């Protein structure tokens, strides 16, 4: 590593080819990859991650693009590999900070267009459509989209040719001999790409622990047809809306098992429309609306819906709780989760399954029957890919540390000369015009996360979120006191509390706290009593101590002092 002669502030003067992930390395989610060729940056993907319960009121987490925002004059474009949220989800939230053209294939572009419109950006943001398998020249980068199977229509790897050499950025991928949508794996084309010489492969680590290949969409179709054909009563199938091949399969299942189809959930309907618009789902059966569906005999209906991860507000959760206004389930109906149980979502999915089982509804998940295949490569597929591409450098991405370390081992086992493991923020030199410069880590960029709070994007360490968490854990008390010029109490202190046990069940807690406030004010020294801040602090500390004694918690406590000078 030649860190000594490297100027971290001025990438534009370096004759290097660099790689820098700002998201997606060390986590599965919020991918943000950057390449820098001779000082000009290219972004590949700009995704998000879903927030857990640790962030009250927050649904979405974004990568902090601060590093590239500061250099946005040198940023040429954002190239999107495919339409999953972990690859496109942050585009509309962060576009105003970056203001560069976007590139995507037609289906991905259709999904991005919808998101831009929601943010009022459909006119401002330049969205360029690259045909499937097409190419585009962006500054010093010659980029070719290489269609690869994945759990969404239009998964793509990118062949990025620069004067320093060729990068193969795999995106999310799998090998599928019969993907139903798109072409089978272009093994020969990838081998030819390897013959031409690939400098670096930057690739998906998600399923590196799977010893078996991911399996084919066609096999899932055959299995689902068999499973549903044997079912009586209502059948619900839930999957990710963006898995267009699976939607096509569910349409096929409805037709071959003699059921009418209804789609429920806003994102499901939006993806079906977007798919049809760009030429997919052409054999999809006509969809019933929910009123029509409610009248169809139980054994003749198939409900396709969102919510396979147990999301509380999604269609499936509402149907499971019996909250859906038109579509109801009864004992001996069936629910199939045709999807992966994503790590982190086990509890939510468990709650959903329990609520169904309690109502004697039969549930099938990927653990019970063959109803799902993954969209990411297992070990045999990774080995095939390395044997075709034969890169000089391999950099595992799209994984937690353990996935990336295992992927690095697999790459070494496949004979890759230089395997570089990275975390978000590592700046890696892939090649340099200076012949003595070795590939490897050369610098670190600042990284971070942002949260989407309603319409505002905040730093993850923001005081707003910390405050909300404290109120959520311990409740909130607001005390207002009026004092005269000498610090004497005027009238009775006003107490308002939220989330405090004993407060709503009678006056006891209120009265006890009132006593503490009045007692504290009585005992103030003149210097305290005449100073608003000191008086307020004394009351706040005493109130918190008393609450700790009474309820074992110290709620967020605010004291407002009103000084009545005329008294
Ligand atoms: Zn994906
Ligand atoms: Zn992904």
> What are the E-state strand segments in 4-126?
16-23, 32-37, 40-46, 49-50, 60-63, 75-79, 102-104
Give 271-299 as a DSSP string.
HHHHHHHTT--TTPPPEEPHHHHHHS-GG
Query: How confident is the prediction along the chain (567 residues), in pLDDT tens digits per residue?
Result: 444 444 555 776 678 999 999 999 999 999 999 999 989 999 999 999 988 778 888 889 999 999 999 999 999 999 999 999 999 999 999 999 999 999 999 999 999 999 999 999 999 999 999 999 999 999 999 999 999 999 999 999 999 999 999 999 999 999 999 999 888 888 999 999 999 999 999 999 999 999 999 999 999 999 999 999 999 999 999 999 999 999 999 999 999 999 999 999 999 999 999 999 999 999 999 999 999 999 999 999 999 999 999 998 899 999 999 999 999 999 999 999 999 988 888 999 999 999 999 999 999 999 999 999 999 999 999 999 999 999 999 999 999 999 999 999 999 999 999 999 999 999 999 999 887 788 999 999 999 999 999 889 999 988 888 899 999 999 999 999 999 988 889 999 999 999 998 887 776 889 999 999 999 999 999 899 899 999 999 999 999 999 999 999 999 999 999 999 876
Q: How far apart are the CA of 84 and the centre of ligand 1, in A?
A: 5
Structural domains for the chain: 12-212+374-444 (3.60.15.10), 217-364 (3.40.50.10710), 464-564 (3.10.20.580)
Nearest ligand, measured from the Cα of 375: 1
Distance 207 CA to ligand 1 centre (A): 12
Which of 76, 74, 89, 100 is CA-nearest to residue 31?
89
| Element counts in the chain: helices (H) and strands (E) | 17, 28
Distances, alpha carbon 279 to alpha carbons 106, 186, 340, 519, in Å: 10, 21, 26, 75
> Which three-class secondary structure state does DSSP give residue 450?
strand
CA–centroid distance, residue 151 to ligand 1 (Å): 7
**Distance from residue 31's CA to the centre of ligand 2 (Å):** 7
Which ligand sits nearest to residue 31's alpha carbon? 2
Scored b (16 or more CB within 10 A) or e, 230-264 reads ebebbbbbbbbbbbbbbbbbbbbbbbebebbbbbb
| CB 561, CB 540: distance < 8 Å | no
* Distance from the alpha carbon of residue 278 to the mean position of ligand 2, in angstroms: 22
Cβ–Cβ < 8 Å for 63, 460: no
Q: How far is residue 157 from each of residues 40, 80, 207, 392, 404, measured CA to CA in Å?
A: 21, 10, 17, 18, 18
Q: How many angstroms is it from 489 CA to the middle of ligand 1?
A: 64
**What is the 60 CA–ligand 1 centroid distance (Å)?**
17
User: Which-ligand-closest: CA of 152?
Assistant: 1
pTM over 0.85: yes
Ligand 1: distance of its center to the CA of 48 in Å?
A: 12
Is 16 in contact with 433 (CB distance < 8 Å)? yes
Within a 13 Å sphere around the CA of 485, how many CA atoms are in the beta-carbon half?
A: 3
CA of 45 to the centre of ligand 2 (A): 10
Distance 150 CA to ligand 1 centre (A): 7
> Given the DSSP bridges, would you call strands 200-204 and 165-169 parallel, antiparallel or unpaired?
parallel
Q: How far is the CA of 398 from the centre of ligand 2 (A)?
A: 7
156-186 exposure pattern, b = at least 16 Cβ within 10 A, e = fewer: bbbbbbbebbbbbbbbbbbbbeebbbbeebb
If you measure from the C-alpha of residue 471 to the centroid of ligand 2, how many angstroms do you get, rounded to a whole number? 34
Task: Tell me, in angstroms, the distance from the centre of ligand 2 to residue 82's CA.
Answer: 9
Residue whose C-alpha is closest to residue 499's, from 541, 546, 560, 554: 554
Question: 242: CA distance to ligand 1 center in Å?
Answer: 10
* CA–CA dist 89, 86 (Å, integer): 6
**Residues with C-beta atoms within 5 A of ion ligand 2:** 86, 172
CB atoms within 10 A of CB 131: 10
The count of other CB atoms within 10 Å of the CB of residue 460 is: 15
For residues 45 and 29, give the distance between their C-alpha atoms in angstroms, rounded to a whole number. 11
If you measure from the C-alpha of residue 27 to the centroid of ligand 1, how many angstroms do you get, rounded to a whole number?
14
Give the number of the ligand closest to the Cα of residue 374: 1
């Amino acid at each position: 590593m030649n860190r000594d002669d490297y100027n971290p502030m001025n990438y534009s003067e370096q004759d290097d080819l660099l790689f820098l992930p700002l998201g997606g390395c060390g986590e599965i989610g919020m991918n943000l990859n950057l390449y820098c060729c001779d000082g000009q940056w290219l972004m590949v993907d700009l995704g998000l991650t879903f927030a857990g319960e640790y962030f009250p009121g927050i649904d979405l987490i974004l990568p902090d693009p601060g590093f590239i925002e500061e250099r946005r004059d040198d940023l040429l474009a954002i190239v999107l590999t495919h339409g999953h949220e972990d690859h496109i989800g942050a585009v509309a939230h962060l576009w105003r900070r970056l203001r560069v053209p976007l590139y995507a294939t037609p289906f991905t572009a259709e999904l991005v267009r919808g998101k831009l419109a929601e943010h009022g950006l459909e006119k401002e943001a330049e969205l360029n459509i690259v045909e499937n398998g097409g190419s585009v020249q962006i500054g010093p980068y010659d980029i070719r989209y290489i269609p690869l199977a994945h759990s969404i229509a239009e998964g793509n790897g990118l062949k990025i040719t620069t004067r320093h050499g060729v990068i193969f950025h795999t995106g999310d991928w799998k090998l599928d001999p019969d993907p139903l949508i798109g072409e089978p794996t272009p093994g020969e084309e990838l081998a030819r790409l390897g013959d031409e010489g690939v400098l670096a492969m930057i690739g998906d680590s998600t399923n590196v622990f799977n010893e078996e290949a991911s399996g084919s969409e066609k096999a899932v179709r055959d299995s689902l047809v068999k499973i549903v054909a044997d079912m009586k009563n209502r059948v619900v199938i839930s999957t990710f809306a963006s898995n267009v091949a699976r939607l096509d399969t569910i349409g096929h299942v409805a037709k071959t098992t003699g059921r009418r189809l209804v789609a429920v959930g806003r994102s499901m309907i939006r993806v079906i429309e977007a798919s049809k618009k760009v030429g997919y789902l052409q054999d999809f059966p006509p969809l019933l609306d929910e009123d029509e569906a409610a009248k169809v005999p139980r054994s003749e209906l198939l409900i396709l819906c969102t919510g396979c991860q147990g999301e509380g507000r999604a269609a499936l959760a509402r149907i499971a709780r019996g909250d859906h206004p038109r579509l109801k389930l009864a004992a001996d109906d069936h629910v199939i989760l045709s999807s992966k149980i994503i790590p982190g979502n086990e509890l939510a999915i468990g709650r959903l399954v329990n609520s169904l089982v309690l109502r004697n509804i039969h549930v099938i998940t990927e653990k019970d029957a063959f109803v799902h295949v993954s969209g990411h490569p297992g070990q045999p597929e990774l080995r095939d890919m390395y044997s075709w591409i034969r890169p000089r450098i391999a950099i595992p991405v799209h994984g937690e540390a353990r996935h990336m370390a295992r992927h690095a081992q697999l790459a070494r086992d496949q004979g890759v000369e230089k395997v570089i493991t990275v975390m978000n923020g590592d700046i890696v030199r892939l090649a340099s015009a200076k012949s003595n410069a070795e590939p490897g880590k050369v610098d670190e960029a600042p990284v971070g996360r942002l949260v989407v709070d309603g319409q505002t994007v905040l730093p993850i360490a923001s005081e707003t979120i910390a405050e909300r968490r404290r109120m959520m854990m311990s409740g909130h008390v607001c005390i207002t006191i009026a004092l005269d010029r000498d610090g004497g109490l005027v009238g009775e202190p006003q107490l308002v509390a939220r989330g405090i046990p004993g407060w709503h069940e009678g006056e006891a807690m209120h009265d006890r706290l009132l006593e503490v406030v009045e007692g504290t004010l009585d005992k103030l020294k003149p210097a305290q009593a005449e100073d608003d801040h000191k008086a307020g602090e004394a009351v706040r500390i005493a109130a918190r101590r008393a609450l700790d004694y009474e309820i074992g918690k110290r709620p967020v406590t605010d004291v407002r002092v009103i000084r009545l000078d005329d008294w």
